[in-house]
Homo-oligomer: A and B are copies of this chain.
Amino acid sequence: MLTYSEENYLKTIFHLSQGQKHGISTNAIAAKIETKASSVTDMIKKLNEKKLIKYQKYQGVTLTSEGLMAAKMIVRKHRLWEVFLVEKLNFNWDEVHDVAEELEHIKSEKLINKLDAFLGYPTEDPHGDPIPDSKGDMKMINKQLLSELPIKKTAICIGVKDSSSDFLQYLDKQKISLGSKIEILEIEPFDQSYRIKINDYEITVTKKIVNNLFVKTN
């Protein structure tokens, strides 16, 4: 049985490992968890003892298959609860993260599987991130940044890279949400601003915006 804190470390290592081939550094974990490097070292030793991570002094850590599965189950819970909060309790997508951060630690397999069924076995959370199923499998979404989309090619908004409240609220204000039809009309060479079409109306946004929106074509 994992403690609250152990679960947070596993989850963090999982997130930091995405698209990373080498081990995760002590400092990277400390920064993400907002704790001190020495505390991370302590926990790393503990997780290593429990064979949830592979660890060599000074060499960073990687999840073992057991640790990976545990991490995925936490992510599964987090994202299912987010779906619940948005779809059933009408939270906005920028309000759910902190609450889900607590709910993800509730220990009951029965609960999470029943919740999954209640929600209709969703495969993505409200930010467009994939939800691992009860075996840990998650369908990888064919996503790209809006900034990488060719001009005049239409796509569908499927997620965000930065999921800070500020950004999510900005998107709400601009009426950009998951499923919006989106297309780059032109890029202004002078200031790198983007003229884009959302569903049926046009707006101008900065490069920072298009660099943080995920889309999929067709």
Q: Which residues of A contact B (CB under 8 A)?
A: 85, 88-91, 95, 98-99, 102-103, 106-108, 110-111, 114-115, 118
| Count of this chain's copies in the oligomeric assembly | 2
| B102 lies within 8 A of A114 (CB) | no
Q: List 15 A-B contacts (CB under 8 A).
A: A88-B118, A89-B111, A89-B114, A89-B115, A89-B118, A90-B114, A91-B114, A95-B110, A99-B106, A99-B108, A99-B110, A102-B106, A102-B107, A102-B108, A103-B106
CA distance A132 to B90 in the complex (A): 23
Name the distance in Å between A1's Cβ and chain B's nearest Cβ: 13
Contact partner of A111 (CB less than 8 A), chosen from B99, B108, B115, is B99
CB-CB under 8 A from A102, the residues of chain B are 106-108
CA distance A94 to B89 in the complex (A): 25
A-B pairs, top 8 by smallest CB distance, nearest first, are: A89-B114, A99-B108, A102-B106, A99-B111, A89-B118, A88-B118, A103-B106, A89-B115
CA distance A70 to B136 in the complex (A): 39
CB-CB under 8 A from A111, the residues of chain B are 85, 89, 99
CA distance A85 to B113 in the complex (A): 12
Name the distance in Å between A98's Cβ and chain B's nearest Cβ: 8
Query: Of all chain B residues, which has the CB nearest A106?
Result: B102
Name the distance in Å between A115's Cβ and chain B's nearest Cβ: 6
CB-CB under 8 A from A85, the residues of chain B are 111
CB-CB under 8 A from A110, the residues of chain B are 91, 95, 99
CA distance A146 to B102 in the complex (A): 41
CA distance A111 to B81 in the complex (A): 12
CA distance A23 to B137 in the complex (A): 54
Interface centre among A90, A103, A111, A115, by most chain B C-beta atoms within 10 angstroms, is A111
